[in-house]
Structure 1
Amino acid sequence: MGKPRPHGLGSDAGSASATAVGRHGAPAKPRPASTPTSLRRAQDRITQAAAELALAEQNRRFDAALSNMPHGLCMFDDETRLILCNAAYRRLYALPERLTRPGTQLQDILNHRIATGSAPVDWVEYRDIPIESALRGGDLISRHVQLADGRTIQITHNPIAGGGYVASHEDVTEILAAAADRHLARHDPLTGLPNRVLLHERLNRALARSRPTNRLSVLCIDLDHFKEVNDTLGHPVGDDLLRAVAGRLSACVRENDTVARLGGDEFVILLPDGQGRRQAETLARRLIETVGTVFEIQGHRIRIGASIGVAVSPDDGDHAEPLLANADLALYRAKAEGRGTARFFEPGMDALAEARRKLEQDLRDTVQAERFELHYQPEVDTRTGAIVGFEALLRWKRPGHGMVAAADFIALAEETGLIARVDDWVIARACADAASWPEPVRVAVNLSPTAFRSPALVEAVARALADSGLVPARLELEIGEAALRGDEERALAILHQLRALGVRIALDDFGTGYASLGCLRLFTFNKVKIDPSFIAGLSQPGPCAAIVKAVADLGAALGFVTTAEGVETADQLAQLREQGCDTAQGYLLGRAGPADEVPTQFAGRRRPG
């Protein structure tokens, strides 16, 4: 028996004749040989499994992203059936689970929103979103949609190729409210213009960027006669007028300029990169012309004006506060010189402004202490020469300055809101003084448009009559034509209430307004006072004599007294008598004097009666 051969691979170990041995010594079954096809199949299965795992992970991440999105997301097919929506979309419209299932019709969701109060306010606008997107060639569009519950939803609509769309829904109510608050903090709510805050921000930025060659300008603008519009036509007309003025001012400036409204009828224009005085002067002239053009507001033709003060940096200030203050001082000068003009700041203008501030303070003190005086000018019968009444004329003996005429402070009283208290005092004092005069001599009080529009006027007149004991028929209230413009219904109601007290009503300065005859149609006046400009023209060639004669004839026909104002010559008085004018007043017939001089006015004249 030979030696056993060692286990292992001999020289023929890899030959085809070698026999494999199984676990029990039996020959092993041969493995089937791998083929290219089977290898490819195995590789395909591995690739598919990996793709499925990747898709599952992608879907997991997509579901997580959808669930955690702060905005609502929905997808609908081309038949408006729901494909998917996220949790935010469900919460946004409080949708029950059944309405979030794939296949749910959009109309079913909308019906639920109608029932729960979260439907769009404007259905046409809502349904136009996909239509507008289609018209734009399938572009993504975004719109704010108001809901019935007060919320605002921003819907971003993105069409899908082949039909359907994806849309995001974001509640932007608080975002818009915060933006509106920020806007309102820096803008005037009436005109939409920048307000004082934003003006200062832009002015400070412009000053910080300024260079020696850049002469920044500030124009302060104040509207002339605006208060009269407010008083006679009412605040709604005044507000519309301010909006119209804002539009005209904005149309006069460049895109990088600023037009701001500080309040009331005060505007400011900032030219951040101007060329100094020349450019500002050119703009100021254009602004005055633009504002002076007639406005058509609520059926009224309104003419106002503008006064402008200009300051130029760095000469007039290199910081916001002094620059604006100096432009305001220049505005004071423009208004003091007759309005409708522009003035540049000059050293020394602060003295004028200080004088006006002192005047205002003294006026306030006088109103508080009732230190005014009334002077009385006689009104006489043109035929007999008898005194038939006196017109009360307001005077102010200003401490340290002497007597001040009403024309020099009435405008300031109106601007500062003191006029109502002044008018009340005048009515009460005039009634008290007239009560001591011989009957039937009357006293006439001229009412400002502000006084006439005051809801307390009728009560003030009734109180003055009661306190003084004056017979109502001896009080004559004069109103100008301007007081009747605007709210005619309200004006007539006031006139009839005054008439019911028994007082007489006179139309003052007849002939100076655009609708004098229209005033006579509205109300039956006791007296019409012909403006002094027509009386002055009696001695000159022209139509004045014919106009006076026509008014006198009209008075005779309609039953009102005609009074000529401003009679200064005997020739004028003779013509008035000839033309049928009933009464007259003026320097020829007697100057105004204090109440204690009234008794001497009767000396040498006949009293009526």
Structure 2
Amino acid sequence: MSIRRIFTAAWSAGHSTPDFHHAQYGALTRQIPMMYAILLVNMATLAYIHLGAAPDYLTIAVPTVLGLVCVYRAAGKYRGRHQMPAVETIRRNNRDTMIMAVVLGAAITAWSLTLFGYGDAYSKGQVTFFNGITIIAIITCLMPLRQIPPLMISVVVVPTCLFLLLQDETAFRAIAVNMILVIGALSVVLRRAHTDFSARVEKQLELDIQRQQLQSLNDRVSLLAAEDSLTGLPNRRSFFDGLARLIDGDGIKGSPFAVGIIDLDGFKPVNDMLGHGAGDKLLHAVGRRLATAMPYGASIFRLGGDEFAIILPCPGSDDDILEASGAILATLAPTFALDEGKIRISATCGVARFPDAGQTAADLFERADFALYHAKAHERGGTTIFSSNHETAIKQAATVSQRLRDADLDAVLSMEYQPIVDARTGTTLGLEALARWNDPVLGRVPPDVFIRTAEQAGVIGRVTLALFRKALRAASTWPDDIYLSFNLSAQDVCSGDTMAAIFEEIERTGFPITRLVFEVTESAIMQDFGRACTALNELRTAGAAIALDDFGTGYSSLSYVRKLPIDRIKIDRSFILDIEKEQAGRDILKTIFDLCRNLRLQCIVEGVETHSQLAILASIGGTTYQGYLFSRPMAVSRVAEFLSVRSEQLQAG
């Protein structure tokens, strides 16, 4: 009988279910490369120690050949780590692995024992240590193959021990006895480990069978309805069905889990710049990466657009959730290579825990979505876990939203105005209208709070029009050479109704549209690049100017700036906070000034507060500013006085 038939006969005993072989294959593809790495390090060490003492063919040629075999075998296993071949292929691979382990183990042992005759007592000690460690590494890494320990003992351990027993030194005979005892005990332990491994696989098989039995005909019929056609991932319906099952008791009722909502950062510009075809390809590639990054037991879903969801059973501590989420998001960092070009994106995640953040699917989704919104605003590219502080913020936002819906906007909203100045001449070029809300119950509500709340409540159009009417009435009393700068939100520029109402208001009042500058932020435009550009182009065509506000805090890509229909850029105040101390900040500002000159854009620096800042900005090319150094925002009643004083100063100057 041939050696291969002997191994085949030995292999045919034991487990033969497909799932068991799949589990074996998965474990071996992870452990075999590690085994070969250990062998390579050990052989290199042993060969190095005997350089010069033993012939070159023993210290160079033989270990090189053996090493190449190890590298070849390890590479093959590593390449197949994400594959799951047919059962017969797995059985054949496992038989080949067992044969190779025995043959390679015997070859390495014979080589090491040949080196035993060279060198001093220390070198011989290293040979014995090498043999022991090599044997342990092989039988440990190949634990899923229960035939390995007895075969390795027969082919490697026994000859090695006999060799050592025949040595004159008592120490080597003692080592032989010790090796037999230790490796024999280790074999028993590994056999028990293999039994446990088999039991776990069998238990998993039983659980899988039970799950399959619980599946109804309706689940099978609705399979396609529960799958996202673009990415192949479970869809929004599957996500909420999964939440319902967990909440109602799929498994242990009330067991904690976590829900995460993932939103891609920078996806909309891909759609706008490269087209929806490229966007679909990117979403498909993102879905594949996210699916492969899921921790054991976790589920990934596509909710729609560029939003995905995950469910993490038994999430552990907040640190565990942040670590798992960070690993998932990190898979999106490498560049995506599409036919249309190479694309880099990131993602942000909001997480809510059950039952702490909510006890219904709707509540959990709402809390996770709120955490995502918070992360987008404060930790883009990271993860935020919903907390009691967020719960308080939700209640406050609900109160603000209700007050805003019920308010007489014309009565409670007001505007303050801050001048925009050309420092070279001291001339006031225009004034930016800044929204204010003084509520009888809430008091003075910060603009960023009530504007964001108005957007979420769907009343931003009403708020914008009420403020715009007030701003037009105020600006109509100013000198004809002073323009009005007015802010539009993301929803404003993407709403046909709001933009139409703005044009109607301009026409009704007869205010010259050429004296209007509409300010929009980069992030607002990128929410729907195409629709935003269409609306802004209509304003420019009619005669208004467009300013890109808070430049530097959004995408700040030169390709986007080049495509935007803008006339001026407003540099965010964060750029000048440390301008007096940091040369890098001055260099960046000078670059932006040069960019604006080359693109024939007016450049306005916001947040100028000191004469020192003004002097530095002027020295690097700045001309137009806005900030407390010139004036704080002022009520409409003070604007005329301010303009009059400034005019007198210029005439006197």
> Normalising by the residue count of structure 2, what TM-score does the alignment of the two structures yield?
0.54
- The residue that corresponds to 1:533 in the other structure is 574
Which of 236, 261, 282 pairs up with 1:221? 261
- The residue that corresponds to 1:592 in the other structure is 633
Render the CA deviation track for 1:209-237: whole Å, top value 9, x for unaligned: 5349x954132325376797699779947
Which of 419, 431, 443 pairs up with 1:390? 431
Render the CA deviation track for 1:101-156: whole Å, top value 9, x for unaligned: xxxxxxxxxxxxxxxxxxxxxxxxxxxxxxxxxxxxxxxxxxxxxxxxxxxxxxxx
1:378–1:389 CA contact under 8 A, matched in 2: yes
More helix by share: 2
| 1:606 correspondence with 2:647 | yes
Q: Percent identity?
A: 30
- The residue that corresponds to 1:468 in the other structure is 509
Cα distance in structure 2, aligned partners of 1:544 and 1:533? 10
- The residue that corresponds to 1:325 in the other structure is 363
Which of 495, 498, 502 pairs up with 2:543? 502
Which of 439, 442, 450 pairs up with 1:401? 442
Render the CA deviation track for 1:409-428: whole Å, top value 9, x for unaligned: 43444445444444444444
Q: Within 5 A, what are the aligned runs for 1:145-294?
A: 182-183=222-223, 185-188=225-228, 191-195=231-235, 197-199=237-239, 201-203=241-243, 205-206=245-246, 208=249, 210-211=251-252, 215-223=255-263, 236=276, 245-253=286-294, 256-261=297-302, 267-272=308-313, 280-290=321-331
Q: 1:366, CA displacement in angstroms?
A: 4.6
2:256–2:315 CA contact under 8 A, matched in 1: yes
Cα RMSD after superposing both structures: 4.5
Equivalent residue pairs, number? 427
SS of the equivalent of 2:503 reads helix
Of residues 501-510 and 451-460 in structure 1, the stretch that sits farther from structure 2 once superposed is 451-460
Q: 1:266, CA displacement in angstroms?
A: 5.7
SS of the equivalent of 1:477 reads strand
Cα distance in structure 1, aligned partners of 2:343 and 2:525? 14
- The residue that corresponds to 2:146 in the other structure is none
1:218 maps to a residue whose letter is A
Cα distance in structure 1, aligned partners of 2:565 and 2:318? 55
- The residue that corresponds to 2:119 in the other structure is none
2:251 maps to a residue whose letter is S
Cα distance in structure 1, aligned partners of 2:564 and 2:306? 33
SS of the equivalent of 2:435 reads strand
Q: 1:586, CA displacement in angstroms?
A: 0.4
| 1:445 correspondence with 2:483 | no
SS of the equivalent of 2:402 reads helix
Cα distance in structure 1, aligned partners of 2:647 and 2:441? 40
Q: 1:444, CA displacement in angstroms?
A: 0.7
Which of 390, 394, 413 pairs up with 1:372? 413
Q: 1:510, CA displacement in angstroms?
A: 4.2
| 1:433 correspondence with 2:471 | no
Cα distance in structure 2, aligned partners of 1:558 and 1:275? 53
Q: 1:571, CA displacement in angstroms?
A: 1.4
Q: Give the direction of change, closer, same or farther, for the CA distance of 1:300–1:396 in structure 2 (3 Å limit).
A: farther
SS of the equivalent of 1:538 reads coil
Render the CA deviation track for 1:312-361: whole Å, top value 9, x for unaligned: 56xx49xx944763575466457547345556666786444333333333
Q: Give the direction of change, closer, same or farther, for the CA distance of 1:215–1:447 in structure 2 (3 Å limit).
A: same
- The residue that corresponds to 1:358 in the other structure is 399
Cα distance in structure 2, aligned partners of 1:385 and 1:550? 24
1:188–1:261 CA contact under 8 A, matched in 2: yes
| 1:308 correspondence with 2:350 | yes
2:263 maps to a residue whose letter is L
Where do 5+ consecutive residues of structure 2 fail to align? 1-217
Render the CA deviation track for 1:14-50: whole Å, top value 9, x for unaligned: xxxxxxxxxxxxxxxxxxxxxxxxxxxxxxxxxxxxx
Q: 1:241, CA displacement in angstroms?
A: 6.1
2:350–2:371 CA contact under 8 A, matched in 1: no
1:220–1:328 CA contact under 8 A, matched in 2: no
Cα distance in structure 1, aligned partners of 2:279 and 2:560? 22
2:397 maps to a residue whose letter is R
Cα distance in structure 1, aligned partners of 2:285 and 2:411? 40
| 1:569 correspondence with 2:610 | yes
Cα distance in structure 1, aligned partners of 2:221 and 2:410? 44
SS of the equivalent of 2:645 reads coil
Cα distance in structure 2, aligned partners of 1:409 and 1:230? 30
Q: 1:573, CA displacement in angstroms?
A: 1.9
Q: Give the direction of change, closer, same or farther, for the CA distance of 1:321–1:312 in structure 2 (3 Å limit).
A: closer
Q: 1:475, CA displacement in angstroms?
A: 0.7
Cα distance in structure 2, aligned partners of 1:437 and 1:559? 27
Q: 1:567, CA displacement in angstroms?
A: 0.5
Q: 1:262, CA displacement in angstroms?
A: 5.0
Cα distance in structure 2, aligned partners of 1:523 and 1:274? 44
Q: 1:443, CA displacement in angstroms?
A: 0.7
More strand by share: 1
Q: 1:198, CA displacement in angstroms?
A: 3.7
Cα distance in structure 2, aligned partners of 1:343 and 1:550? 35
1:216–1:274 CA contact under 8 A, matched in 2: yes
1:223 maps to a residue whose letter is D
Q: Give the direction of change, closer, same or farther, for the CA distance of 1:276–1:398 in structure 2 (3 Å limit).
A: same
2:283–2:306 CA contact under 8 A, matched in 1: yes
SS of the equivalent of 1:545 reads helix
Cα distance in structure 2, aligned partners of 1:548 and 1:414? 32
1:376–1:592 CA contact under 8 A, matched in 2: yes
SS of the equivalent of 1:307 reads strand
2:419–2:626 CA contact under 8 A, matched in 1: yes
SS of the equivalent of 1:605 reads helix
SS of the equivalent of 1:600 reads helix
Cα distance in structure 2, aligned partners of 1:346 and 1:536? 32
SS of the equivalent of 1:539 reads coil
> Normalising by the residue count of structure 1, what TM-score does the alignment of the two structures yield?
0.57
- The residue that corresponds to 1:583 in the other structure is 624
